[in-house]
Every structure is written in C-alpha cells, then in structure tokens.
Amino acid sequence: MRTAQVWHENWINKDNFSRALPPATNFPARLSRGSRRKTPDGRSPGSTNQPGHLMARASAYKGDLVNHATSVPTSARILGIGGALPERIVDNHYFEKIVDTSDEWIRERSGIIERRFAAEGQLNSDLSADAGRKALADAGLQPEDIDLIILATCTPDRPIPSCAVVVQDKLGAKNAAAFDLNAACSGFIYGMITATAMIRSMQAKYILLIGTELLTRVTDMTDRATCVLFGDGSGAVVLGPSYDSRGILGHYMGADGSLRDLITIPCGGTELPPTPERLAEHLHYVHMRGNETYKHAVTRLADSCVRALAAANLHSDDIDLVIPHQANTRILQSVAKRLGISYDEKFFINLPHIGNTSAASIPIAINEARETKRLLPGMTMLLVAFGGGLTFGGAVVRY
C-alpha cells in the first residue's frame, strides 16, 4: 500500500492532475501480448516476488492513461458475453418417477418444463472456464488481459480454495486476481456492482464476471418442493471502462439477514459441520420455505427495480428489456404488474427450458437474449435478482 500511495502522489504531482485518482496497480498497460510480458527492467510484471513490480505495473498503466487522454471511466460496460450449459436435458417427466409430482403440477407452480444437469465429473470451474473463454473471445481479449475474475456462485468446487482461482488457472489468466462472491441468486448483480466500482476507481481495467451454479449437486432429489426447480449452467460477461452513455447507469443492492433461514443449506459450514447424522437428515441440501419466500420475492424484486431506475434517473418506460433472475413465472408476472411493464413484451424469460440456476440465471439469459436478437446494441436493460440471505438488487445497463 505504501508503494502504491507513493506512486500515486508522485503521479499526481508530476503530471499536475487537478483531481486525485486512486492508484491503479492491479494491472499492466494494455500493450501487445509480446511486449507486456516484461517491465522495462526485464522483470515479469505479474510476479509478486520480484522487487518493484508494483511500481513497474503502475508506471505502465500511467502511460496507458495518458494515451487515453487521462480520462476517468464514467462507468463499466459489457464488452463480451458468453454462456455454457451442460448437455443433459432433464424434463419434468423425470421427476414423476422419483417423487410424487407431475409435469402439469410443475409447470403450473413454477413455469419450468426442463432444465440442465451437469455430467458426472463436470465441475463448476469447467463450466465457468467455458463461459469465460466465450466471453473473452466475444470481447476480443486474451486471458492475460484480465485483471480480475469475480465468480458469483454458492456451489463452488470446494470450500477452499475459491473456485475463481481454479478458473483463473484453467483460463491461463495469469495476471488476474480472483475471488468467489456468494450472494446466492443475487450474486451476479452484486458482482456487477462490485466490478463497476473497481473499474470506475481504476483498480482494474478488464474484469471477467461469471455466474455459475451446479445446484443439482446440492438438491435433495427426494424433496418434491425443491428438486424440480433447479438446474446447472454458467454465464459470463467481460466488463471494461466506459467513456460514453453505454454501461451500468444505475444500481441498487440490499440484504436482510433476519430472513436467512428462508433459503439455506444448513449443514456444511462451521455452524453445523457435516456428521453422519446430519447427512442422513439431508441437511447438506437446499432447504426453502416456498410460501414465505414468494411473498418477500415479489416485494423485494419490484423495490429493487424502482431503486435501480431511480439511481439511473430513468423511468420504466425507458427500459427496452427486463432480464430478471429466473426463479418462478408467477413471481415475475407479479413483479411486471407492480412495475407497469409488459411481461410479454419486455420481460426476457428462459425459465421454462433452463430452470432456476441461481447466480447463473441472469448471465445465461443475457447470453441467450443476445443470441436470439432480443438484446441489441444501444438497448437499455433492467437486471434484477432476489435470493438467499436474503439478498436482492438491480442494475440498469445500456448495452
């Protein structure tokens, strides 16, 4: 921190900047792939065991700022989009064989027709890396260009280390810091807001934000109330600095920990470490109080939309496309009614063939909306989510 602070002060003084900018020491300059691998003294800028590497990386970025007229980003914008879904498709009739349910009951209660199940041996990090590669290719960037990987998930490969560092390795994003973010179904919104703050404060230039879940690995297949809801998948976006009207225009996020037991996995942490008895009680699976969750979901989703729109100084009429967390069609229809936004015309819904994929649902939907031409350049999206915690949030994004 002292090194970064000294560099920052010297930079401001030498270049006579009138406003103080935060130090940008997390990434090297955007040089060619060949030239950026070494600093002027021959050292590797990404190696933390070499003296002076922070100064070298900071100096390099200073030059990059000068090349961009020393502009401070107004926001972060989406540069690339990608998605990855498991091959196995599981329809509602599968559950008729294992629990007391029916295709008609599932469709009526949730709106879900089918969902994806990850293959045996397929990991969260595998899907994340796949979606990440596609987003990078769409953005025209290399893995080495990424400064930070944020993986929104509540179903990582392991408790330790973070799944994000495994993704970093699988992608070869050797210059990137990496961490997991667990806000359940709101994770992608939380991650987007976090990434925007990092980019606006110039702590990072290019961030790979991924939402991935393997919920079927933590679902009790004997509980008909939950086993029919969840699916697996991954979506990703590359975020970078915006200097125009594109990007994240406004956002809101919140939480209410007093309702933490509405959606939870009771066992597996330090509160209830796994024991044979707890595993026999299926406490290591998702438990959800459906009726109570429904009531809070409608209220919190609608409120998050209103707050995000207010932060962007926009009205619901200004929104071209609403991409919500794909939880339940009845919930989403109620939200649309409260907002006065046409559900059929402006809500993008892929829940029937994807299911509830928690933190992955919004980025998967963004990817599908772009592929199906529902999302076009210049359109303004309203993203909104609600999940375990409780957590909730929204973001207005101009693509």
Q: What is the pLDDT along the chain (399 residues), one digit of tens a residue?
A: 333 343 334 333 333 333 333 333 333 333 333 434 444 444 444 443 333 333 333 333 333 433 444 588 999 999 999 999 999 999 999 999 999 999 999 999 999 999 999 999 999 999 999 999 999 999 999 999 999 999 999 999 999 999 999 999 999 999 999 999 999 999 999 999 999 999 999 999 999 999 999 999 999 999 999 999 999 999 999 999 999 999 999 999 999 999 999 999 999 999 999 999 999 999 999 999 988 898 899 999 999 999 999 999 999 999 999 999 999 999 999 999 999 999 999 999 999 999 999 999 999 999 999 999 999 999 999 999 999 999 999 999 999
How far is residue 106 from each of residues 102, 210, 225, 387, measured CA to CA in Å? 6, 29, 9, 20
Listed residue (198, 188, 117) closest to 153, CA to CA: 188
Question: What's residue 70's pLDDT?
Answer: 53
Q: What is the pTM of this model?
A: 0.82
Could you tell me the domains of the chain?
2-71 (no CATH), 76-245 (3.40.47.10), 248-398 (3.40.47.10)
Q: Which residues are catalytic?
A: 185, 325, 356
Which letter does DSSP use for residue 41 in this model?
T
Sign (positive or negative) of CA dihedral 356, 362, 367, 371? positive
Amino acid symbol at 160: I
Question: What's residue 167's pLDDT?
Answer: 98
359, 213 contact by CB (below 8 A)? yes
Question: What's residue 291's pLDDT?
Answer: 85
Amino acid symbol at 222: T
